[in-house]
Every structure is written in structure tokens, then in C-alpha cells.
Amino acid sequence: MQDEKPRVLIVDDSRGDIRIVNENLKDQYTTLAATSGKAALDVAAKDPKPDVILMDVEMPGMNGYETCQKLKANPETSDIDIIFVSAHDTVDEILAGYEAGGTDYLTKPIEPLQLKTKIKIAVENRQQRKAISSEKQSVEKIARTAMDSAGEQGVVLDFFRNSFTAEKPEKLAEMIISAIDQYHLSCAVQIRFDDSVIDRATNNCVVPLEKELLTRLKDHNKIIEKGQRAIFNFAGISLLIKTINPDPDKWGRIRDYIAILLDGATNKLQSLIVSQHVSSLVLNSNYALEQITETQREHKKETQNIADRLLVRLESSFHSLGLLHDQEEMLINLVQDGVNETLTHVEKGAEIDNSIKEIINKLQTI
């Protein structure tokens, strides 16, 4: 029976390191091994091909980056996820790995749980890519048709028109991906909304290196171009174009349109943030008003109780005071007038509450 376990190719010039990794993976995965870049190319090209390759960076002869580039240049092995294993964790190392075609990285010494987690993500991403391959081809065909009919400017105009319907940042991210897809470009977008981070990509799979790059470079230049990739940084939104158009004139136009599109997306994001804050304000104000109303209700009730008790004590003291009937009525009326004035004051407070409620309702409508 064919082995159904995902296949992991371990590439490392140290046989000891290969044994350690193999011990951690052999129960869940079918493991293969290569001690050089050249051997890795041979093993990866044979069927059944590996689902994931753990690639050591520093190897004699052909290093990990060079090996990865050759694997990605070969149509037979280009879709295999490659996780780099390096002793360094700098932005330059991450960029080098991503430029070579890697999808993730591990820092030595390898922690077993982290190793299994990253391999699991890579396997799931590859399976998802396979599952949506035919669907993606259909979407790309529709996008090309839309691009031909609407034109490059039409993409931006359609985005602006549709963005008004986005009620959540997740929907805004999906709209950005859809718009960029009409330029025949693959991308990943990150939206930072209050304390949350939303990541989306063209194929629904945002690889860890893409998230890392978008996060680390969000405060750098507004537009960064490096090799065949570009990153756009706007307030709260970062966009990674994975492969720019090879025609420099066409790319120049599209780059400008993307900047305009993201500028509009940023304004929409700000309106969503304001809307969320207003909603929170309305909820908090409603709760506070309910508390105030209840307090005033209790205050009015207690005021009436105090007045009633005062009148009872006053009437019971008349006999000892030796007052005339007219004098007793005068005192009772004075006390009752004071109570009525107090209750009227409380009612005016309730009128103010109603005015505040109207303001809250208007905010809620907005």
C-alpha cells in the first residue's frame, strides 16, 4: 500500500543533525535525506516528490539559497515548500531566504515543537494550493477578461465604488486582493486594525515569511522595490507584490494605480476605525445612561419615602408642641412644598437624560 504520510526532505551536510531531525519527524512523516545541494536536487526530482524541504543554509559547495533557487526554477519541483534552517535571524537573512523562494525559516538550534508546527503549516498550505488550483485558474481567466474590458483605471474606480460596502477590515483586505488580482499580480496584504492584525493573500495562504516581512518593514519607505518584488506601506495597510510586471512601462503605471488604490483603502480603514469607536461610545453611553436613570429612579423613590417619614414624625410631634390647627397645616404645607420642589428637580434631570438619549440615538444612526 502506498505510504500516505507527507514526505519531508531533510537537507544538511551534518549527518548528526539529519538524525536528530529525523527522530522528531519519523512518526508523522516519511523522511528523506540529502547531505548536499546537488543531492537534494536529485532526490526532490524523483517521484513521489517531497511535500516540504528543510534546507540548511550553510553548506559547502552549493549553499541552501542556491539550491532553493534551482528547485524553484525547475517546474517539476517549483511548488515544493522550502523551510530554511539558519543560525541567524536578521532581516537580511529573511529577505535572502524569501528572495530565493523559501516560505518559512527556523533558527538553530531547532526546537522540536516549532519544527513540527512549521512543517504542518507548510503541508497544509501545499494541500490547499492544490485544492484551489482549478478554481484559481477560473478566477484568473475572469480577472483577465475584466481587466481587458475595464482597463487599469477601471480597477481603481471599481475598488472605490465597492469599498463603500466594506463593513469590516477583513472584507476590505479581500477587496484589495481582488483588485490587485485584476492586474494579474499575486500579492499578500496586511491590515493593522486597532490591536488586531489581518493577513490575506491571493491564494488564501499567507506564508510565515510574508507575514514577517510585512510586519518588519511596515515602518520603512512608502514603496520598496527589491528584485521582482515590491512592498507598499500606507497607514495601517501594507501590501506585498510577489512578482512585479516585467514590462517596466506597464509596471510604472500599475504601481501608481496601486498607490492610489491603497490611499483610498487607507481612508476607508480610518472610517472603519472611527465607526468602531463611535459604536463603542454609543454602547458605553447607553450603559451609563441606564445606570444614571436607575439611580435617579431610586433617588426619587427614596426622596418620597424620606418626605413621608418626615410628615409622619412632624404630625406626631404636634401634640407636644401645642400648635394651633392652622399652624400645623402651615408646617405640613411647607414640608410638602419642599418635597414637591425636590421631585420636580429630579424630573428635570430625567429630561436632560432624554436629551442625552436623543444624541446617542443620532450617533448610532450615523
Note the pLDDT of residue 303.
73
pLDDT of amino acid 149: 47
Global pTM value: 0.60
Model pLDDT, residue 136? 64
Whole-number pLDDT of residue 23 = 93
Radius of gyration of the chain (CA): 35
State the number of CA atoms in the 13 A half-sphere of 320 facing the CB: 5
Per-10-residue mean pLDDT of the chain, 366 residues long, equals 78 93 93 95 93 94 94 93 90 90 90 93 86 69 58 89 91 95 92 90 85 90 91 95 88 92 94 78 69 72 75 69 73 76 68 68 64
Query: In this predicted structure, what is the pLDDT of residue 364?
Result: 62
Q: Which is nearest to 155 in space by CA: 254, 51, 222, 286?
A: 254
Print the SS3 string covering the chain.
Answer: CCCCCCEEEEECCCHHHHHHHHHHHCCCCEEEEECCHHHHHHHHHCCCCCCEEEEECCCCCCCHHHHHHHHHHCCCCCCCEEEEEECCCCHHHHHHHHHHCCCEEEECCCCHHHHHHHHHHHHHHHHHHHHCHHHHHHHHHHHHHHHHHHHHHHHHHHHHHHHCCCCCHHHHHHHHHHHHHCCCCCEEEEEEECCEEEEEECCCCCCHHHHHHHHHCCCCCCEEEECCEEEEEECCEEEEECCCCCCHHHHHHHHHHHHHHHHHHHHHHHHHHHHHHHHHHHHHHHHHHHHHHHHHHHHHHHHHHHHHHHHHHHHHHHHHHCCCHHHHHHHHHHHHHHHHHHHHHHHHHHHHHHHHHHHHHHHHHC
